[in-house]
Amino acid sequence: MPARARTKTLSPLRLKRRAEFLAVAAKGRKVQRPGLVLQALATGGEIRLGFTATRKIGNAVVRNRARRRLKEAARLFFAEHRIEGVDFVLVARRQTAGRRFALLSADLADAVEKIGPR
RNA sequence: CCAGACGGUCGGACGGCCGCCGGCGGAAACGCUGGAGGAAAGUCCGGGCUCCACGGGAAUACGGUGCCGGCUAACGGCCGGCGGGGGCGACCCCAGGGAAAGUGCCACAGAAAGCAAACCGCCCGGCCUCGGCCUCAUCAGCCUGCCGGGUAAGGGUGAAAGGGUGCGGUAAGAGCGCACCGCGCCCGCGGCAACGCGGGUGGCAGGGUAAACCCCACCGGGAGCAAGACCGAAUAGGGGUGGCCGGCAUGGGCCGCAAGGCCGCAUGCCAGGGGCAUUCCCGCUCCGUCACCUGGGUUGGUCGCGUGAGGUGCAGCGCGAGUUGCAUCCCAGAGGAAUGGCCGUCCCAUGCCGCAAGGCGCGGACAGAACCCGGCUUACAGACCGUCUGGCGCU
RNA sequence: UGGGGGAUAGUUUAGCGGUAGAACUCCCGGCUCUGACCCGGGCAGCCUUGGUUCGAAUCCAGGUCCCCCAG
Protein backbone atom coordinates (compact mmCIF):
# COMPACT_ATOMS: atom_id res chain seq x y z
CA MET A 1 0.00 0.00 0.00
CA PRO A 2 1.15 3.58 -0.55
CA ALA A 3 2.77 5.28 2.32
CA ARG A 4 -0.28 7.43 2.89
CA ALA A 5 -3.21 7.84 0.61
CA ARG A 6 -3.32 11.22 -1.11
CA THR A 7 -6.61 12.60 0.01
CA LYS A 8 -6.46 15.25 -2.66
CA THR A 9 -5.69 13.77 -6.02
CA LEU A 10 -5.05 17.26 -7.37
CA SER A 11 -2.28 18.03 -4.91
CA PRO A 12 0.85 16.87 -6.66
CA LEU A 13 3.37 14.39 -5.37
CA ARG A 14 6.29 15.79 -3.40
CA LEU A 15 9.97 15.19 -3.87
CA LYS A 16 11.48 14.05 -0.59
CA ARG A 17 14.77 12.26 -1.05
CA ARG A 18 18.08 13.96 -1.40
CA ALA A 19 18.81 11.91 -4.49
CA GLU A 20 15.68 13.23 -6.21
CA PHE A 21 16.68 16.84 -5.59
CA LEU A 22 20.20 16.15 -6.80
CA ALA A 23 18.91 14.55 -9.99
CA VAL A 24 16.82 17.59 -10.86
CA ALA A 25 19.67 19.97 -10.07
CA ALA A 26 22.21 17.99 -12.08
CA LYS A 27 20.24 17.05 -15.18
CA GLY A 28 17.50 19.67 -15.37
CA ARG A 29 17.16 23.26 -16.48
CA LYS A 30 17.30 26.29 -14.23
CA VAL A 31 15.72 29.74 -14.32
CA GLN A 32 16.26 32.53 -11.80
CA ARG A 33 13.67 35.13 -10.82
CA PRO A 34 13.88 37.68 -7.98
CA GLY A 35 11.54 35.63 -5.82
CA LEU A 36 12.74 32.14 -6.57
CA VAL A 37 14.90 29.79 -8.56
CA LEU A 38 13.05 27.17 -10.60
CA GLN A 39 14.63 23.90 -11.59
CA ALA A 40 12.86 21.45 -13.90
CA LEU A 41 13.54 17.94 -15.17
CA ALA A 42 11.41 16.07 -17.68
CA THR A 43 10.53 12.61 -16.44
CA GLY A 44 7.48 11.60 -18.43
CA GLY A 45 5.60 10.59 -15.33
CA GLU A 46 3.25 12.48 -13.08
CA ILE A 47 4.11 16.04 -12.09
CA ARG A 48 6.12 16.26 -8.88
CA LEU A 49 7.16 19.25 -6.82
CA GLY A 50 10.05 19.86 -4.43
CA PHE A 51 10.78 22.84 -2.21
CA THR A 52 14.17 23.97 -0.97
CA ALA A 53 15.08 26.66 1.55
CA THR A 54 18.72 26.79 2.57
CA ARG A 55 20.16 28.14 5.78
CA LYS A 56 21.57 31.07 3.86
CA ILE A 57 18.20 32.82 3.62
CA GLY A 58 17.49 32.94 7.34
CA ASN A 59 16.51 31.09 10.47
CA ALA A 60 13.91 28.37 10.72
CA VAL A 61 10.99 30.80 10.81
CA VAL A 62 12.10 32.58 7.66
CA ARG A 63 12.80 29.30 5.86
CA ASN A 64 9.40 27.89 6.82
CA ARG A 65 7.64 31.03 5.68
CA ALA A 66 9.46 31.12 2.35
CA ARG A 67 8.66 27.47 1.69
CA ARG A 68 4.99 27.91 2.58
CA ARG A 69 4.62 30.89 0.28
CA LEU A 70 6.21 28.93 -2.55
CA LYS A 71 3.81 26.07 -1.86
CA GLU A 72 0.84 28.43 -1.97
CA ALA A 73 2.01 30.08 -5.18
CA ALA A 74 2.57 26.68 -6.76
CA ARG A 75 -0.81 25.41 -5.61
CA LEU A 76 -2.60 28.35 -7.21
CA PHE A 77 -0.56 28.24 -10.40
CA PHE A 78 -0.78 24.52 -11.12
CA ALA A 79 -4.50 24.49 -10.40
CA GLU A 80 -4.84 26.77 -13.44
CA HIS A 81 -2.19 25.20 -15.66
CA ARG A 82 -2.09 21.43 -15.88
CA ILE A 83 1.44 20.28 -16.63
CA GLU A 84 2.49 16.64 -16.77
CA GLY A 85 5.73 14.78 -16.95
CA VAL A 86 8.00 17.20 -15.13
CA ASP A 87 9.74 17.40 -11.77
CA PHE A 88 9.89 20.97 -10.51
CA VAL A 89 12.10 22.18 -7.67
CA LEU A 90 11.34 25.62 -6.25
CA VAL A 91 14.29 27.13 -4.43
CA ALA A 92 13.67 29.98 -2.03
CA ARG A 93 15.83 33.07 -2.19
CA ARG A 94 16.49 35.84 0.28
CA GLN A 95 13.54 37.88 -1.00
CA THR A 96 11.03 35.02 -1.07
CA ALA A 97 9.70 35.53 2.42
CA GLY A 98 9.26 39.30 2.08
CA ARG A 99 8.24 39.74 -1.58
CA ARG A 100 4.67 40.74 -2.31
CA PHE A 101 2.67 37.66 -3.14
CA ALA A 102 1.43 38.97 -6.49
CA LEU A 103 5.01 39.54 -7.62
CA LEU A 104 6.04 36.14 -6.33
CA SER A 105 3.24 34.51 -8.31
CA ALA A 106 4.29 36.43 -11.40
CA ASP A 107 7.87 35.25 -10.88
CA LEU A 108 6.66 31.66 -10.85
CA ALA A 109 4.52 32.06 -13.97
CA ASP A 110 7.42 33.74 -15.74
CA ALA A 111 9.81 31.04 -14.77
CA VAL A 112 7.55 28.21 -15.89
CA GLU A 113 6.95 30.04 -19.15
CA LYS A 114 10.63 30.48 -19.79
CA ILE A 115 11.63 26.99 -18.80
CA GLY A 116 8.63 25.61 -20.69
CA PRO A 117 10.10 24.15 -23.90
CA ARG A 118 11.58 21.22 -22.07
C1' C B 1 4.44 64.02 39.50
C1' C B 2 9.65 62.56 38.50
C1' A B 3 13.56 58.99 39.04
C1' G B 4 14.37 54.05 40.42
C1' A B 5 14.18 48.70 42.66
C1' C B 6 11.75 43.95 42.68
C1' G B 7 7.99 40.30 41.28
C1' G B 8 4.38 38.75 37.70
C1' U B 9 1.09 38.59 33.17
C1' C B 10 0.35 39.26 27.99
C1' G B 11 2.96 39.42 23.69
C1' G B 12 -1.66 42.02 18.09
C1' A B 13 -7.84 41.67 18.07
C1' C B 14 -12.24 40.44 15.14
C1' G B 15 -14.35 38.76 10.53
C1' G B 16 -14.63 36.77 5.30
C1' C B 17 -12.82 33.65 1.00
C1' C B 18 -9.32 29.79 -0.69
C1' G B 19 -5.94 26.00 1.32
C1' C B 20 -2.58 22.36 4.76
C1' C B 21 -1.84 18.25 8.84
C1' G B 22 -4.17 14.90 12.56
C1' G B 23 -8.75 12.66 14.73
C1' C B 24 -14.05 11.13 14.46
C1' G B 25 -18.36 9.91 11.36
C1' G B 26 -19.43 8.42 6.27
C1' A B 27 -19.57 3.82 0.62
C1' A B 28 -18.45 8.51 -1.32
C1' A B 29 -19.31 13.60 -1.78
C1' C B 30 -18.61 15.86 2.45
C1' G B 31 -19.40 17.29 7.58
C1' C B 32 -17.68 18.10 12.65
C1' U B 33 -13.48 18.87 15.59
C1' G B 34 -8.19 19.85 17.29
C1' G B 35 -3.58 22.15 15.41
C1' A B 36 3.45 25.77 18.10
C1' G B 37 6.41 28.61 22.49
C1' G B 38 7.75 31.30 26.86
C1' A B 39 11.55 30.55 25.39
C1' A B 40 9.39 25.24 21.04
C1' A B 41 16.18 27.94 20.70
C1' G B 42 21.37 26.79 22.77
C1' U B 43 22.05 21.51 24.23
C1' C B 44 24.71 23.43 29.84
C1' C B 45 22.85 20.11 34.07
C1' G B 46 19.17 16.56 36.35
C1' G B 47 15.51 12.59 35.68
C1' G B 48 11.72 9.24 33.28
C1' C B 49 11.71 5.49 29.40
C1' U B 50 14.52 1.66 26.40
C1' C B 51 18.56 -1.62 25.28
C1' C B 52 23.44 -3.29 26.77
C1' A B 53 26.81 -4.53 30.76
C1' C B 54 24.62 -6.38 35.01
C1' G B 55 29.52 -11.00 40.22
C1' G B 56 31.53 -9.32 44.73
C1' G B 57 35.11 -6.68 47.45
C1' A B 58 39.24 -3.42 48.28
C1' A B 59 42.29 0.27 46.51
C1' U B 60 43.36 3.56 42.50
C1' A B 61 42.28 6.57 38.48
C1' C B 62 38.86 9.89 35.92
C1' G B 63 34.84 13.51 35.89
C1' G B 64 31.66 16.70 38.70
C1' U B 65 29.94 19.49 43.02
C1' G B 66 31.70 22.70 47.33
C1' C B 67 28.99 28.47 53.54
C1' C B 68 24.42 26.45 56.53
C1' G B 69 19.39 24.58 56.71
C1' G B 70 15.32 23.21 53.77
C1' C B 71 12.35 21.90 48.99
C1' U B 72 12.46 18.22 45.16
C1' A B 73 11.98 12.05 41.68
C1' A B 74 16.76 14.37 41.03
C1' C B 75 20.00 18.43 40.05
C1' G B 76 25.34 22.20 39.14
C1' G B 77 18.11 24.11 40.21
C1' C B 78 14.88 26.74 43.71
C1' C B 79 13.61 28.87 48.74
C1' G B 80 15.11 30.79 53.50
C1' G B 81 19.26 32.19 56.37
C1' C B 82 24.74 33.39 57.29
C1' G B 83 29.30 35.85 55.83
C1' G B 84 31.79 39.36 52.36
C1' G B 85 31.32 43.51 48.72
C1' G B 86 28.38 47.69 46.31
C1' G B 87 24.28 51.40 46.66
C1' C B 88 21.41 57.52 50.31
C1' G B 89 17.70 53.62 49.86
C1' A B 90 14.23 49.83 47.89
C1' C B 91 17.74 46.29 46.58
C1' C B 92 21.78 43.98 43.82
C1' C B 93 26.39 40.87 43.22
C1' C B 94 29.71 36.67 45.12
C1' A B 95 32.91 28.88 42.30
C1' G B 96 31.85 31.42 49.38
C1' G B 97 35.55 24.13 52.04
C1' G B 98 41.04 23.67 53.33
C1' A B 99 47.10 28.05 52.58
C1' A B 100 49.62 25.50 60.86
C1' A B 101 49.83 17.99 54.95
C1' G B 102 53.20 18.84 51.06
C1' U B 103 55.01 20.96 46.21
C1' G B 104 55.16 25.05 42.74
C1' C B 105 54.83 30.31 41.34
C1' C B 106 55.09 35.70 42.82
C1' A B 107 57.90 38.91 36.24
C1' C B 108 59.95 44.18 36.39
C1' A B 109 61.38 47.20 40.34
C1' G B 110 63.49 46.69 45.06
C1' A B 111 68.53 45.71 50.11
C1' A B 112 65.08 41.92 50.81
C1' A B 113 59.24 38.26 47.88
C1' G B 114 58.93 34.28 52.53
C1' C B 115 63.37 32.83 56.10
C1' A B 116 63.94 36.31 57.96
C1' A B 117 67.25 39.78 56.77
C1' A B 118 69.19 45.39 56.28
C1' C B 119 70.40 49.57 50.84
C1' C B 120 70.08 54.80 52.12
C1' G B 121 69.48 55.88 57.12
C1' C B 122 69.18 56.50 62.86
C1' C B 123 71.92 55.34 67.43
C1' C B 124 76.06 53.36 70.66
C1' G B 125 81.11 51.85 71.29
C1' G B 126 86.13 51.52 69.49
C1' C B 127 90.39 53.11 66.13
C1' C B 128 92.65 57.20 65.07
C1' U B 129 96.76 56.37 60.29
C1' C B 130 95.55 60.24 56.20
C1' G B 131 92.22 64.70 55.11
C1' G B 132 88.95 69.04 56.69
C1' C B 133 86.90 72.60 60.66
C1' C B 134 88.23 74.88 65.31
C1' U B 135 93.23 76.77 67.82
C1' C B 136 99.09 80.71 67.78
C1' A B 137 100.00 75.44 68.58
C1' U B 138 98.84 70.69 71.00
C1' C B 139 95.06 67.95 73.39
C1' A B 140 89.95 67.48 73.44
C1' G B 141 85.66 67.94 70.19
C1' C B 142 83.04 67.76 65.40
C1' C B 143 82.76 66.12 60.11
C1' U B 144 84.64 62.35 57.04
C1' G B 145 86.85 57.33 56.99
C1' C B 146 87.40 52.15 59.01
C1' C B 147 85.82 48.20 62.52
C1' G B 148 82.21 46.02 65.91
C1' G B 149 77.29 46.25 67.66
C1' G B 150 71.89 47.87 68.39
C1' U B 151 67.59 49.11 65.50
C1' A B 152 63.37 49.04 61.78
C1' A B 153 60.60 54.88 63.18
C1' G B 154 61.64 57.51 58.30
C1' G B 155 63.16 57.27 52.67
C1' G B 156 62.69 54.50 48.34
C1' U B 157 60.50 49.80 45.13
C1' G B 158 56.28 47.02 44.56
C1' A B 159 49.89 44.30 43.85
C1' A B 160 52.00 42.68 48.36
C1' A B 161 57.60 44.43 52.96
C1' G B 162 56.55 40.24 59.31
C1' G B 163 49.56 43.81 62.52
C1' G B 164 47.13 49.45 62.15
C1' U B 165 46.42 54.44 64.65
C1' G B 166 47.66 57.36 68.87
C1' C B 167 50.19 58.23 73.50
C1' G B 168 54.10 56.83 76.53
C1' G B 169 58.93 55.08 76.39
C1' U B 170 64.14 54.93 74.53
C1' A B 171 70.94 56.21 73.01
C1' A B 172 68.05 55.34 68.61
C1' G B 173 64.14 52.24 68.34
C1' A B 174 60.85 48.20 68.92
C1' G B 175 53.88 45.19 71.43
C1' C B 176 58.79 47.37 75.04
C1' G B 177 54.14 49.29 77.85
C1' C B 178 49.02 51.24 77.49
C1' A B 179 44.08 52.55 74.86
C1' C B 180 41.05 51.48 70.63
C1' C B 181 40.68 48.47 66.15
C1' G B 182 42.23 43.86 63.72
C1' C B 183 43.93 38.67 64.54
C1' G B 184 44.62 33.81 67.21
C1' C B 185 43.13 30.80 71.45
C1' C B 186 39.73 29.72 75.67
C1' C B 187 34.98 30.19 78.13
C1' G B 188 29.77 31.56 78.41
C1' C B 189 25.08 32.73 76.00
C1' G B 190 21.68 32.58 71.52
C1' G B 191 20.89 29.55 67.07
C1' C B 192 19.28 22.65 64.27
C1' A B 193 23.53 24.88 61.73
C1' A B 194 26.50 28.39 58.94
C1' C B 195 27.31 32.09 62.40
C1' G B 196 26.45 36.06 65.92
C1' C B 197 26.98 38.52 70.81
C1' G B 198 29.68 39.08 75.39
C1' G B 199 33.87 38.17 78.58
C1' G B 200 38.84 36.63 79.32
C1' U B 201 43.59 35.87 77.44
C1' G B 202 47.94 35.96 74.14
C1' G B 203 51.69 40.29 72.49
C1' C B 204 51.26 39.05 66.86
C1' A B 205 52.73 33.78 65.64
C1' G B 206 50.46 31.91 60.21
C1' G B 207 52.05 37.15 53.09
C1' G B 208 49.25 35.95 48.49
C1' U B 209 47.74 32.28 44.97
C1' A B 210 43.83 26.15 45.31
C1' A B 211 39.06 29.36 38.26
C1' A B 212 48.30 26.27 40.00
C1' C B 213 49.22 20.97 41.39
C1' C B 214 46.88 19.25 45.55
C1' C B 215 44.06 17.70 50.40
C1' C B 216 39.13 16.78 52.45
C1' A B 217 33.80 15.66 52.01
C1' C B 218 29.89 14.08 48.85
C1' C B 219 28.00 12.23 44.00
C1' G B 220 28.72 9.37 39.41
C1' G B 221 27.92 1.95 35.08
C1' G B 222 27.55 2.63 29.25
C1' A B 223 24.69 4.24 25.33
C1' G B 224 20.68 6.72 23.44
C1' C B 225 13.58 7.03 20.45
C1' A B 226 17.94 6.55 14.08
C1' A B 227 16.79 3.70 21.96
C1' G B 228 13.89 -0.51 21.42
C1' A B 229 9.61 -4.16 20.21
C1' C B 230 6.64 -6.57 16.41
C1' C B 231 5.17 -7.98 11.02
C1' G B 232 6.54 -9.33 5.97
C1' A B 233 9.63 -11.47 0.54
C1' A B 234 15.24 -12.98 -2.04
C1' U B 235 21.38 -13.46 -1.31
C1' A B 236 26.47 -13.37 1.99
C1' G B 237 27.30 -13.09 7.62
C1' G B 238 24.44 -15.16 13.34
C1' G B 239 22.11 -19.24 17.10
C1' G B 240 21.53 -24.53 18.69
C1' U B 241 23.14 -29.74 18.47
C1' G B 242 26.84 -33.27 17.16
C1' G B 243 31.88 -34.64 15.31
C1' C B 244 36.92 -33.00 14.94
C1' C B 245 40.30 -29.09 17.58
C1' G B 246 47.11 -27.20 21.86
C1' G B 247 51.09 -29.60 24.79
C1' C B 248 52.94 -33.13 28.65
C1' A B 249 52.71 -37.45 32.04
C1' U B 250 50.37 -42.09 33.40
C1' G B 251 46.93 -45.77 32.13
C1' G B 252 44.08 -48.02 28.14
C1' G B 253 42.77 -49.68 23.04
C1' C B 254 44.31 -50.95 17.86
C1' C B 255 48.21 -52.45 14.10
C1' G B 256 52.86 -54.93 13.97
C1' C B 257 57.20 -60.87 15.04
C1' A B 258 59.76 -56.62 16.70
C1' A B 259 61.71 -51.66 16.60
C1' G B 260 57.85 -48.64 16.55
C1' G B 261 53.38 -46.30 14.85
C1' C B 262 48.17 -44.73 15.40
C1' C B 263 43.76 -43.35 18.46
C1' G B 264 42.24 -37.26 23.43
C1' C B 265 39.31 -43.13 25.07
C1' A B 266 40.11 -42.18 30.81
C1' U B 267 42.65 -39.39 34.88
C1' G B 268 45.82 -35.41 36.21
C1' C B 269 48.80 -31.10 35.14
C1' C B 270 50.25 -26.88 32.22
C1' A B 271 48.88 -23.45 28.52
C1' G B 272 47.80 -18.66 24.53
C1' G B 273 44.91 -14.33 23.05
C1' G B 274 40.53 -10.95 23.74
C1' G B 275 36.34 -8.66 26.84
C1' C B 276 34.08 -7.16 31.91
C1' A B 277 37.45 1.53 33.27
C1' U B 278 42.57 0.27 35.83
C1' U B 279 45.36 -3.05 39.39
C1' C B 280 44.87 -7.34 42.60
C1' C B 281 42.07 -11.76 44.42
C1' C B 282 38.60 -15.12 43.16
C1' G B 283 34.86 -15.34 39.20
C1' C B 284 32.41 -15.21 34.27
C1' U B 285 32.67 -15.36 29.04
C1' C B 286 34.46 -15.80 23.81
C1' C B 287 37.92 -18.16 20.15
C1' G B 288 39.01 -22.62 14.63
C1' U B 289 36.58 -26.36 11.14
C1' C B 290 32.62 -29.74 9.07
C1' A B 291 27.49 -31.60 8.91
C1' C B 292 22.34 -30.93 10.14
C1' C B 293 18.45 -27.86 11.94
C1' U B 294 16.59 -22.97 12.66
C1' G B 295 15.51 -17.90 13.66
C1' G B 296 16.92 -12.43 12.50
C1' G B 297 19.42 -6.91 10.16
C1' U B 298 19.23 -2.95 5.75
C1' U B 299 14.14 -0.94 2.49
C1' G B 300 8.68 -0.85 3.82
C1' G B 301 4.70 -1.09 7.58
C1' U B 302 2.81 -1.12 12.88
C1' C B 303 3.92 0.09 17.88
C1' G B 304 6.97 3.12 21.09
C1' C B 305 3.80 8.27 20.71
C1' G B 306 1.43 11.42 24.80
C1' U B 307 -3.24 10.47 31.23
C1' G B 308 1.60 13.17 32.49
C1' A B 309 6.77 14.07 38.73
C1' G B 310 0.00 17.05 33.74
C1' G B 311 -3.19 21.91 33.45
C1' U B 312 -6.92 24.99 36.03
C1' G B 313 -9.86 26.47 40.39
C1' C B 314 -10.80 26.33 45.67
C1' A B 315 -9.29 25.05 50.59
C1' G B 316 -5.55 23.51 54.55
C1' C B 317 -0.25 23.75 56.22
C1' G B 318 4.42 26.52 55.47
C1' C B 319 7.97 33.25 55.83
C1' G B 320 9.05 30.69 51.21
C1' A B 321 10.59 27.00 47.50
C1' G B 322 6.67 23.72 47.99
C1' U B 323 3.14 20.12 49.81
C1' U B 324 -1.74 17.81 50.96
C1' G B 325 -6.99 17.33 49.92
C1' C B 326 -11.32 18.10 46.84
C1' A B 327 -13.42 19.43 42.20
C1' U B 328 -12.75 19.81 37.13
C1' C B 329 -10.34 19.43 32.07
C1' C B 330 -7.99 16.12 28.00
C1' C B 331 -4.84 20.14 25.53
C1' A B 332 -0.64 19.34 18.37
C1' G B 333 1.61 15.22 17.35
C1' A B 334 2.63 12.62 11.73
C1' G B 335 6.30 10.99 7.26
C1' G B 336 11.82 15.47 5.93
C1' A B 337 7.98 17.11 8.80
C1' A B 338 1.02 20.35 8.90
C1' U B 339 -0.76 25.95 11.49
C1' G B 340 -0.35 29.11 5.09
C1' G B 341 -2.15 32.87 1.16
C1' C B 342 -5.28 37.03 0.07
C1' C B 343 -8.80 40.83 1.70
C1' G B 344 -11.48 44.18 5.19
C1' U B 345 -12.09 46.93 10.07
C1' C B 346 -9.49 48.25 14.45
C1' C B 347 -4.77 48.63 17.62
C1' C B 348 0.58 49.77 17.84
C1' A B 349 5.26 51.72 15.77
C1' U B 350 7.27 54.65 11.97
C1' G B 351 8.32 57.73 7.03
C1' C B 352 6.31 61.61 3.74
C1' C B 353 2.49 65.51 2.67
C1' G B 354 -0.84 68.90 5.33
C1' C B 355 -2.16 74.77 9.69
C1' A B 356 -5.61 71.00 10.92
C1' A B 357 -9.20 67.19 10.18
C1' G B 358 -6.82 63.69 7.61
C1' G B 359 -4.38 61.29 3.28
C1' C B 360 -0.56 58.05 1.05
C1' G B 361 3.15 54.28 2.16
C1' C B 362 5.82 50.64 4.87
C1' G B 363 5.96 47.25 8.98
C1' G B 364 4.05 43.98 13.59
C1' A B 365 9.67 41.71 19.22
C1' C B 366 12.42 37.14 19.69
C1' A B 367 11.39 33.07 17.31
C1' G B 368 8.75 27.06 14.64
C1' A B 369 7.16 21.20 18.39
C1' A B 370 10.49 15.97 16.14
C1' C B 371 10.31 10.65 22.85
C1' C B 372 8.79 13.21 27.34
C1' C B 373 9.49 16.01 31.93
C1' G B 374 12.21 19.48 35.88
C1' G B 375 15.73 23.42 35.65
C1' C B 376 19.72 26.69 33.71
C1' U B 377 21.46 29.97 29.92
C1' U B 378 20.64 33.06 25.83
C1' A B 379 17.08 36.28 22.44
C1' C B 380 12.79 39.55 22.86
C1' A B 381 9.21 45.66 19.84
C1' G B 382 5.75 46.94 23.08
C1' A B 383 1.75 46.87 26.76
C1' C B 384 -0.32 46.01 31.57
C1' C B 385 -0.67 44.73 36.98
C1' G B 386 1.19 44.59 42.01
C1' U B 387 4.71 45.74 46.09
C1' C B 388 8.52 48.91 47.62
C1' U B 389 12.53 53.07 47.72
C1' G B 390 14.43 58.17 47.03
C1' G B 391 13.01 63.19 45.77
C1' C B 392 9.59 67.34 44.77
C1' G B 393 4.73 69.49 45.40
C1' C B 394 -0.25 69.79 47.74
C1' U B 395 -3.71 68.70 51.83
C1' U C 1 20.77 13.23 17.98
C1' G C 2 25.41 12.39 20.27
C1' G C 3 30.72 13.32 20.49
C1' G C 4 35.37 16.03 19.45
C1' G C 5 38.28 20.34 17.94
C1' G C 6 39.23 25.42 16.67
C1' A C 7 39.09 31.14 16.33
C1' U C 8 46.12 35.36 17.19
C1' A C 9 48.12 41.10 11.39
C1' G C 10 44.95 41.13 4.77
C1' U C 11 46.78 35.35 4.48
C1' U C 12 49.42 30.99 6.75
C1' U C 13 50.93 30.14 11.48
C1' A C 14 54.43 30.31 16.77
C1' G C 15 53.51 31.72 21.60
C1' C C 16 55.93 27.83 30.31
C1' G C 17 50.26 33.86 33.91
C1' G C 18 54.46 39.28 33.19
C1' U C 19 57.99 40.90 25.90
C1' A C 20 52.72 39.45 21.19
C1' G C 21 56.61 36.98 17.51
C1' A C 22 57.79 34.81 12.31
C1' A C 23 56.93 34.22 6.90
C1' C C 24 54.22 36.09 2.71
C1' U C 25 51.38 40.56 1.37
C1' C C 26 51.05 46.06 1.56
C1' C C 27 53.54 51.10 2.06
C1' C C 28 58.21 54.16 2.07
C1' G C 29 63.39 54.47 0.92
C1' G C 30 67.93 52.34 -1.33
C1' C C 31 70.37 49.41 -5.39
C1' U C 32 69.39 49.59 -11.30
C1' C C 33 68.96 53.04 -17.37
C1' U C 34 64.02 50.42 -15.88
C1' G C 35 61.70 46.11 -13.66
C1' A C 36 62.51 41.63 -10.84
C1' C C 37 65.81 39.75 -7.07
C1' C C 38 68.24 41.86 -2.95
C1' C C 39 69.07 45.52 1.36
C1' G C 40 66.94 48.95 5.18
C1' G C 41 62.56 50.86 7.61
C1' G C 42 57.26 50.96 8.65
C1' C C 43 51.61 49.96 9.17
C1' A C 44 48.50 46.32 11.14
C1' G C 45 46.33 41.38 15.39
C1' C C 46 44.86 37.90 20.47
C1' C C 47 36.20 36.20 18.19
C1' U C 48 32.87 38.56 22.18
C1' U C 49 31.06 39.50 27.37
C1' G C 50 31.98 38.75 32.39
C1' G C 51 35.00 36.58 36.40
C1' U C 52 39.71 34.64 39.19
C1' U C 53 44.57 37.00 39.82
C1' C C 54 48.86 42.36 41.58
C1' G C 55 48.74 41.03 36.38
C1' A C 56 44.89 36.99 31.31
C1' A C 57 46.15 35.69 24.22
C1' U C 58 47.07 31.96 28.18
C1' C C 59 42.95 29.95 33.79
C1' C C 60 37.22 29.61 34.59
C1' A C 61 32.05 30.55 33.00
C1' G C 62 28.23 32.43 29.35
C1' G C 63 27.64 33.71 24.13
C1' U C 64 28.82 33.89 18.54
C1' C C 65 30.88 31.60 14.32
C1' C C 66 33.50 27.64 11.79
C1' C C 67 35.36 22.63 11.05
C1' C C 68 35.50 17.30 11.86
C1' C C 69 33.54 12.34 13.43
C1' A C 70 29.45 8.44 14.36
C1' G C 71 24.60 6.81 13.14
Give φ, ψ of A91 to 5 degrees. -105, 125
CATH number for A13-115 (one of 3.30.230.10, 3.40.50.9100, 3.30.70.1380, 3.40.47.40): it is 3.30.230.10
- For strand B, the positions having any atom within 7 A of a protein Cβ are 19-22, 36, 300-301, 335-342, 363-364, 367-369
Q: How far is the CA of A106 from the C1' of B345 (A)?
A: 29
8 A C-beta contact, residue A65 and residue A27: no
Distance between CA atoms of residues A55 and A12, nearest Å: 26
What does pTM read for this prediction?
Answer: 0.69
CA of A98 to C1' of B275 (A): 60
Taking only Cα atoms into account, the Rg of chain A, rounded to an integer number of angstroms, comes to 14
Phi then psi dihedrals of residue A53, to 5 deg? -140, 115
Decide if A72 contacts A36 (C-beta within 8 A): no
Q: HSE-up of A84 (CA within 13 Å, CB side)? A: 4
ipTM value for the complex: 0.72
pLDDT exceeds 70 at position A51? yes
Distance A106 CA to C18 C1' (A): 67
* Number of Cβ within a 10 Å radius of residue A38: 24
pLDDT digits (tens, 9 = 90+) for A35-47: 888 888 887 777 8
Q: Is the CB of A55 under 7 A from strand B?
A: no
d(CA A67, CA A95): 12
Spell out the domain ranges in chain A. 13-115
Rounded average pLDDT over A27-56 = 81
A9 touches strand B (CB under 7 A): no
